[in-house]
Homo-oligomer: A and B are copies of this chain.
Amino acid sequence: QGTRDHPPAQAALRERLLGAVVSCFKRHGAAAIDTPVLELRETLMGKYGEDTKLIYELQDQGGELLALRYDLTVPFARYLAMNKVNNMKRYHVAKVYRRDNPATTRGRYREFYQCDFDIAGQFDPMIPDAECLKIVHEILSDLQLGDFVIKVNDRRILNGVFAICGVPESKFIMACSTVDKLDKVPWEEVRSEMVGEKGLSPEAADRIGEYVQLHGGLDLIERLLQDPKLSQNKLAKEGLGDMKLLFEYLTLFGITGKISFDLSLARGLDYYTGVIFEAVLLQQENEHMEELVGVGSVAGGGRYDGLVGMFDPKGRKVPCVGVSIGIERIFSILEQRLKASGEKLRTTETQVLVATPQKHLLAARLKLISELWDAGIKAEMLYKKDPKLLKQLQYCEDTGIPLAAIVGEQELADGVVKLRDVSTREEVRMSFYTRCQKC
């Protein structure tokens, strides 16, 4: 339950999608690493806040206590600490596991792919962070998913807002996760949760509300840098300074058109320490509405400068920033779009079917197909001694094989092969054997 087989049509679409993502990661100079699906239970504990209960644990059959990885970020941090790596740009495309309530219609499963790109190392501020945003922009543009916006914020700015609004530091994480709901529910609801369940004063909640409903660009950053209260807060000032630098770099990349500095973006995970971001696809809710509404996050990430230190015996820190592409949701969208279009995706890459029009020609087919394979050509034949020509051509049409190489008695006698274009039915005779022996 919550896991699934991927039949060929899905696997082919997934291969195409993952191919596009990996090729972007490689374009940015990332190396691949691979870590085990099994991690020590203690490695994963205490990294995911409330969601720790969603970790799959293995039975104690003797030996180490193991669990299935929950994401690719914690294993990456564990890898950097274990191998004392200080600098690395890596990508990792692999499955992760969560004992969640599956919501398969929205592309939420218990076993699903993650596609992560991360930059680890001590560098000048915001250069790697800007590259992560550029990557999200490239991938979403490449995949032609329609209009999107990348929301950006900084944990330091949020914490600064909470501080100047009178939230005690012990309640920052709680306040963060409450603010994070603003993309789904209106401010009034978030406010009443803050005051009711979370025990903030109504005045603090109202002051928070004034900030977290703001979004904009460089102008908003400049305005907040002038804000008499916020500019007095050290963390917020640092965050706003870096945000300004980030926007400068994004301007040079030419992508600020899709970027929104959004103070309501908080992101759930505990380990973020600086810039955070999330990409959302935009869609017209129906044809009568002009406004575009978000239909869910398809990528997210941020800076986590403290995570590697948690795995290092000496607490040695390695600053990191990374992005995770929400491949499952993108996959659902592309799959629905493919279904709607009626287009049939090929599940194989076969270029030619080796066929015979008469009986007793299995030997000729086997000889020809073997030469094609040896020449690197993708070829198939039916596994029948004497298949009917119609059946063989039908197989080409069903599976999208564009060419049939037909060898009959006449062709054998003449030492040629008849090459047939399956869709146009055009045929040419080729002296295949001679050509092949030459090359």
Residues of A participating in the B interface, judged by any CB pair closer than 8 Å: 1, 3-8, 10-12, 14-15, 26-38, 56-61, 63-64, 68, 79, 82-83, 89-90, 95, 97, 99, 110-111, 119, 121, 123-124, 127-128, 130, 134, 138, 249, 252-254, 347-350, 362-363, 366-367, 370, 373-374, 376-380, 383-385
Contacts and interface: CB of A to CB of B under 8 A. Distances in A.
B31 A12 contact: yes
Contacts of A28: 373, 378-380
Contacts of A15: 32
B83 A3 contact: no
B57 A366 contact: no
Give how many copies assemble into the complex: 2
20 contacts: A3-B36, A5-B34, A5-B83, A7-B83, A11-B31, A11-B32, A11-B34, A15-B32, A28-B373, A28-B380, A37-B37, A38-B56, A57-B59, A58-B58, A59-B60, A89-B348, A121-B383, A124-B384, A124-B385, A127-B362
A1 B64 contact: yes
Nearest to A63: B1
Nearest to A122: B383
A350 B29 contact: yes
Nearest to A76: B5
A56 B58 contact: yes
Contact of A27 (B60, B68, B377): B377
B383 A249 contact: no
Contacts of A123: 383-384
A259 to B, nearest CB: 14
Contact of A34 (B14, B134, B370): B14
Contacts of A370: 134, 252-254
B32 A373 contact: no
A63 B97 CA distance: 15
Nearest to A375: B27
B3 A373 contact: no
Contacts of A366: 127, 130, 249, 252-253
A95 B37 contact: yes
Contact of A61 (B8, B64, B90, B99): B99
A52 to B, nearest CB: 12
A34 to B, nearest CB: 4
B36 A373 contact: no
A218 to B, nearest CB: 16
A70 to B, nearest CB: 14
A59 B61 contact: no
A339 to B, nearest CB: 18
Contacts of A378: 26-29
Contact of A90 (B8, B33, B68, B121): B8
Nearest to A127: B383
B26 A348 contact: yes
The 8 closest A-B pairs by CB, nearest first: A123-B383, A8-B31, A3-B36, A29-B380, A6-B34, A31-B347, A11-B32, A252-B366
B33 A5 contact: yes
Contact of A37 (B11, B59, B82, B111): B111
Contacts of A4: 36
A5 B376 contact: no
A385 B128 CA distance: 11
A45 to B, nearest CB: 14
Contacts of A30: 348
Contacts of A367: 252
A37 B33 CA distance: 19
A34 B350 CA distance: 20
Contacts of A58: 56-59, 68
Contacts of A254: 370
Given A1-B64, A12-B32, A63-B99, 18 more contacts: A8-B90, A11-B31, A26-B378, A28-B373, A28-B379, A29-B349, A37-B68, A37-B95, A56-B58, A56-B61, A58-B58, A58-B68, A89-B348, A121-B383, A123-B384, A127-B362, A134-B370, A252-B370
Contacts of A134: 370, 373
A21 to B, nearest CB: 14
